Amino acid sequence: MTDISALQASILADVAAAADEASLETVRVGALGKKGSVSALLAGLGKMSPDERKSEGAKINLVKDAVAGAIAQRRAALKEAALEARLAGERLDVTLPAREQGASLGRVHPISQVMDELAAIFADMGFSIAEGPDIETDDYNFTKLNFPPDHPAREMHDTFFFEPDAHGRRKLLRTHTSPVQVRAMLTKAPPIRVICPGRTYRCDSDQTHTPMFHQVEGLVVDRSSHLGHLKWILEEFLKAFFETKSVSLRFRPSYFPFTEPSMEVDVRCSRKGGEIRFGEGDDWLEILGCGMVHPNVLRNCGLDPAEYQGFAWGVGIDRLAMLKYGLPDLRAFFEADVRWLKHYGFRPLDFPTLAGGLSAP
Ligand code: DAH
């Protein structure tokens, strides 16, 4: 019967044209479902004579089998194609290097690194960290630190002053971290053991000076603090910081208004091949200023010099970073060049610790 073979041809064409499993299912329901075209033919058999039923039944069943077979084949092919497409889409080359992202991309600036190292070293010796504001009063930056009014040292500091207020008082950008000593003595009761890292400002700019730079101040006040303690602390600090077994120090008399006696400290080093190495050689490198806290400073900060004595020191952090990490030009520190930071910076999750290594590789 041409009807039946035309129907079969049309269903098979639909099966072949079905682009996905959903449209194939629509074709199946249209042909073999309860109300499908092939099922309708089968339902018609009941009205036929037994002979007709036999011959027509056989033909219709052939169509049914052909359609069912074609659908099964097409479904398998579509499944396979879908799987292929998914596998191609999810393809991953596990041999490629992992892309750097997030925390591993950033770098810690050498100055922040050195500050973290200082914190680790001095925390281990029982010091805590004290901070003060960058904008200071003349009183804390100079007067309480025993700089007499109109003393030339005030000018030596190349101070950035703000406009005077209604009372004629000028605030300033602190020229050193020493005013944080004053703040510590005014707010803490002895024994005091603090380091004060932070930004400092002087109107000065060349290869080794920038208008903003960093210092760390150290202060110890107790009933019996003496220069022997200071010497030991500085030696331990420099050994730990420069990661050398020994250092030798030379104390030279100097002058600071806030200490008496005042000293400058040189570290023994060698400069062979233009490279500075500590703990060897016959050369000396000036590294910091220090002294016993002047009785006037103690008094200005409410402490009785007959009862308490202390010592203090001040170091340039930028210089420490340059010396330790071989950084040639101070100005590059503040240029915010990511290529420089990528080269000289430190991985953010490698915290410096005394036990785990200060300058992680
Ligand atoms: N404040 C000094 C400066 O900036 C450094 C200094 C010297 C600090 C001696 C001190 C000290 O605490 O005792 O030049």
pLDDT in tens, 42-67: 888 888 888 888 888 888 999 999 99
The model's pTM: 0.72
Same domain, 153 and 273: yes
Same domain, 84 and 164: no
Domain extent, residue 77, equals 2-89
| Three-state secondary-structure class, residue 137 | strand
Give residue 202 CA to ligand 1 midpoint distance, Å. Answer: 14
- Rounded to 5°, angle at Cα 21 from 17 and 24: 45
- Residues at CB less than 6 angstroms from ligand 1: 176, 178, 217, 256, 259, 289-291, 312-314
State the pLDDT at residue 229: 96
Same domain, 163 and 221: yes
Mutate to test the pocket of ligand 1, among 313, 317, 320 (most ligand atoms within 8 A of CB): 313
State the pLDDT at residue 360: 59
State the pLDDT at residue 10: 93
Structure tokens at 6: 């035309």
User: Which residues lie closer than 8 Å to 166 by C-beta, 6 or more apart?
Assistant: none
Tell me the one-letter amino acid at 78: L
Confirm whether 232 is domain-assigned.
yes
Taking the CA atoms of the chain, what radius of gyration do you get in angstroms? 42
User: The domain spanning residue 131 has which CATH number?
Assistant: 3.30.930.10
Confirm whether 351 is domain-assigned.
no
pLDDT in tens, 198-245: 999 998 887 778 899 999 999 999 999 999 999 999 999 999 998 888
Mutate to test the pocket of ligand 1, among 176, 209, 220, 298 (most ligand atoms within 8 A of CB): 176
Same domain, 77 and 115: no
Instruction: Name which residue sits closest to atom 12 of ligand 1, judged by CA.
Output: 313
> Please, where are the H alpha helices in 143-300?
152-156, 178-187, 227-242, 295-300
Same domain, 154 and 82: no
CA torsion through residues 264, 195, 303, 200, sign: positive
Query: Which residue numbers in the chain have pLDDT < 50?
Result: 1
User: Which residues lie closer than 8 Å to 292 by C-beta, 6 or more apart?
Assistant: 226, 227, 230, 259, 260, 261, 309, 310, 311
Distance CA 72, CA 87 (A): 23
Instruction: Name which residue sits closest to atom 6 of ligand 1, judged by CA.
Output: 314
State the pLDDT at residue 3: 83
